[in-house]
Chain A
Amino acid sequence: PKTHRVMTLADHISHIITQDFARNQ
């Protein structure tokens, strides 16, 4: 069976932004 990570759209957006800025520091 497939496993899914579930999150809100707002949390997903927040996560991507945080990752992007951390990567570019």
Chain B
Amino acid sequence: ACPVSGAERTSQEIWESFSQCFTPAVKEVVEFAKGIPGFQGLSQQDQVMLLKSGTFQVLMVRFCTLFNAGERTVTFLNGQTYPLSTLRALGMGSLLDAMFEFSEKLGSLGLEPDEMALFMAVVLVSADRSGISDMWAVEQLQEGLIRALRSLITRRRPDDTALFPKLLLRLPDLRTLNNLHSDKLLAFRID
């Protein structure tokens, strides 16, 4: 992370930076999806529909490591770190508050990187099914991924029987985040 940025960047520049960080992150989710076993076996239309519905939620999981609950700072993917107070002044308060709350809940589960990756795959294929042409294929893919996630977690922590259900409870949290915040506005400078 870079040192906290202060007065040398204008509000507009910070907002542009925040907006721009989503572009490479979305592209990474598309590449991630292509690597999920079975995802490219879906029709291209269904792959696109799941990505459009689920990418925001995958990004919420991906971004939760950028939130420092102790310091109350957020690190953007370009390396800039800002205190929450600065970002609130730009009007990002409600989205960031929700992301802080979500990242604390998910962080408390202590997932390993491979568990987090498999959880992100489950999040993506559990996204809204409006517009999906082959529901059965998507459900089969989802069931397989959930089984794999359960197996990985219970094998690694056989005594923590509450962990997997707690993890699945994050799915409705993500849907709520999506419904409340995906209509937030971004601004990209046109040179």
Please tell me which one of the listed residues B12, B55, B186, B189 contacts residue A7 in the complex, with CB atoms under 8 A apart.
B186
Task: Please tell me if the beta carbons of A13 and B55 are within 8 angstroms of each other in the complex.
Answer: yes
Distance from B18 Cβ to chain A, minimum over Cβ atoms (Å)? 10
Given A6-B185, A10-B183, A12-B22, A17–B190 Cβ distance below 8 Å? no
Shortest distance from the beta carbon of B13 to any chain A beta carbon, whole Å: 10
A1 to B190, CA, bound (A): 11
Interface size on A, residues (CB 8 A): 17
In the complex the two chains form, what is the Cα distance from A17 to B23 in whole Å?
10
B12, A2: Cβ atoms under 8 Å?
A: yes
Q: How far is the CB of A23 from chain B (nearest CB, A)?
A: 10
B48 in the interface, Cβ–Cβ < 8 Å?
Answer: yes
**A17:B52 contact, CB within 8 angstroms:** yes
Please list the residues of chain A having a beta carbon within 8 angstroms of any beta carbon in chain B: 2-10, 12-14, 16-18, 20-21
